[in-house]
Each structure stands twice: as C-alpha cells, then as structure tokens.
Chain A
Amino acid sequence: AQSVTQLDSQVPVFEEAPVELRCNYSSSVSVYLFWYVQYPNQGLQLLLKYLSGSTLVESINGFEAEFNKSQTSFHLRKPSVHISDTAEYFCAVSEYGANNLFFGTGTRLTVIP
C-alpha cells in the first residue's frame, strides 16, 4: 500500500528566505512523484513531477525537488520565496501503471513580508 507523509502542516517563512517542504512516501513498487499547489478556492496546479531520469526536477517559478530513492523522499525547495508563494502544497505519489494519485495531507506555506 502507498502512503505519503508531509511532515509539516504549516511552514511560516520570511519573504526572500529559503524554504523546504518535506515529503516522504512509502511504496513497495516504483513510483511517480508530484508536487501540486492549491491557492484559496481553486483547484490543484501541478508544480513539478518526477517520472524518470534526472532525480532533480525544476519548475518554471524557481521551485525544485529531488527524488531520493534510498530515503524515499521528494522534498520541495525554493531558495528565495515571494509573497505570491503563499498557498497550500501537496505531495502526491502514483505507482507505475496506476491511474490515480495518493496525496499527503498538505503543507500550508505562509510567506511573511
């Protein structure tokens, strides 16, 4: 069975400071990994995904995540956050060949001016 653990439910951080949102997963088979962002009263937007290849994946707005198979982690990082990054972030996993996602409980990132 798959599961996703987001260790921090809330992360406050000052503007222009770095941030790391942690995600660990468990699965007995190979997986795909995702980070989604949700703004208030909106759906989920894909931030980045790991399907195969390079273990470091980047988004267009400065976020990056690294797939670490030995530690079963897929932590999300950004070197300098902006006010507009305030949102809820969800880590998700899917097994190879599956057609559904298992989500973590989310991390609410609040950027403080």
Chain B
Amino acid sequence: KAGVTQTPRYLIKTRGQQVTLSCSPISGHRSVSWYQQTPGQGLQFLFEYFSETQRNKGNFPGRFSGRQFSNSRSEMNVSTLELGDSALYLCASSLDGQFNYGYTFGSGTRLTVV
C-alpha cells in the first residue's frame, strides 16, 4: 500500500511569489491535513479537508489556502511569499480525520523563500 506522497520534495521561491504544494493521500483515505514545521514555531496545524470541504483551520493568515479534489488529493497554496514562510510542510492522511484507524504523515515539502 503506497504511503502519503508529497510533491515536490524541495522548492525554492522568491519573496512575493506564490507556491502550490501537492499531497496524495493513502488510497481510501478521505481526510487530508496540513501542518507547517519551522524551527521557531514548531509544528502547527494549517487546515483539514474531508470530501472536498475544509472542516477545520488553524491560525494562519489568508495567504495560506488549500483545496481537495474528488480523488482526495489535496493542494495547498501560499500567496505573496514571505521569508518566514520557509518551512517543512507536512500533510497527513486518514480515513475520516479521526485517529482510530491511522493518521499517516508524508515526507514533506521543504520550502525555502529567498
């Protein structure tokens, strides 16, 4: 069974640009959550999608957005990039967003903003 796939693995962008990251969940999983990991703030929840609907959102500015497609793949977008957006972005997939049956993380996308 394939795991959670995040693409690309590494990305370098310039301040002011926008970026789109992709997450393909484990087959059959309908929930995808996104987290940001930085040395200063640690691991923080961005948002969760289930069946193409955002069900939960963390405390991030509106520059951070996401969506989920009918095949459960999810993308997150960051517009008007700032240096502080440099981070490892992790996604996690689960059957329904609950933890009883597994909540699996991908290897992440490391975004560097210069």
Name A's B-contacting residues (CB within 8 A).
32, 34, 36, 41-46, 49, 51, 90, 92, 94, 98-106
Q: Which chain B residues lie closer than 8 Å to A45 at the CB level? A: 105
* 0/1 string, B78-103, CB within 8 A of A gives 1: 00000000000010100001111001
- Assess A99 versus B33: contact at CB under 8 Å? Given A32-B99, A94-B99, A105-B42: yes
Contact assessment for A103 and B42 in the assembled complex, using a CB-CB cutoff below 8 Å? yes
Closest A residue to B90 by CB, please name it: A43
Name B's A-contacting residues (CB within 8 A).
4, 6, 31, 33, 35, 42-45, 48, 50, 55-56, 58, 90, 92, 97-100, 103-108, 110
Q: Which chain A residues lie closer than 8 Å to B100 at the CB level? A: 51
Bound CA–CA A94/B97 (angstroms): 11
Closest A residue to B98 by CB, please name it: A99
Contact assessment for A101 and B45 in the assembled complex, using a CB-CB cutoff below 8 Å? yes
Q: Which chain A residues lie closer than 8 Å to B98 at the CB level? A: 99
Closest B residue to A36 by CB, please name it: B105
Q: Which chain B residues lie closer than 8 Å to A46 at the CB level? A: 103-104
